[in-house]
Amino acid sequence: MENMGAFENICNLLRNHSYKVTPQRQTILHMFVEHVDRHLSAEEVYMLVKNENPEIGLATVYRTLDILADIGVLIKNDFGDGRTRYEFSRKDEHHHHHHLICLKCGNVSEFDDDLLESLEAVIMKRNHFKVSDHDLKFYGYCSNCDGTQ
């Protein structure tokens, strides 16, 4: 989905859920569209948007992120660093992608290969338990922090 198309689709989704598309919400949404590959915390979003729109408060950022998560536009992630981070939802994925989290610099990157499908089949067969989703996080050191490049 191209950036402007994604922006307009999300604005329409907000309207369909009876939310106003305020200039503040538009600014926050633009930050996610511009930083689509990042996993942003509310504080990071606030720092990005205050340069463009200084009257936006941190409470507005939190409320907007909660709304976007409630309507399924964003996914909330907890990477164990005490901050909730947000990323765009990928409704076309069967499962969420996985995350690689650097313990030194805090960088979060994505790992898209779903290697757990065979494990899910074993779980279903042995335990008669149908897995509908999973969340996998790998903690370690990125190539910049590990020194091996």
Residues 106 and 80 reside in one and the same domain: no
Confidence (pTM): 0.69
Nearest-angstrom CA–CA distance, 28 and 38: 14
**Domain end marker among 88, 111, 138:** 88
pLDDT tens digits for range 96-140: 567 788 888 878 877 776 677 788 888 989 999 988 777 778 888
134 is in an annotated binding site: yes
Residues 11 and 48 reside in one and the same domain: yes
pLDDT tens digits for range 53-94: 899 999 999 999 999 999 989 989 888 778 898 988 866 555
Residues spanned by the domain of 111: 98-146
102 is in an annotated binding site: yes
Residues 7 and 62 reside in one and the same domain: yes
Residue 93 maps to a domain: no
142 is in an annotated binding site: yes
* Count of structural domains within the chain: 2
11 is in an annotated binding site: no
Residue 122 maps to a domain: yes
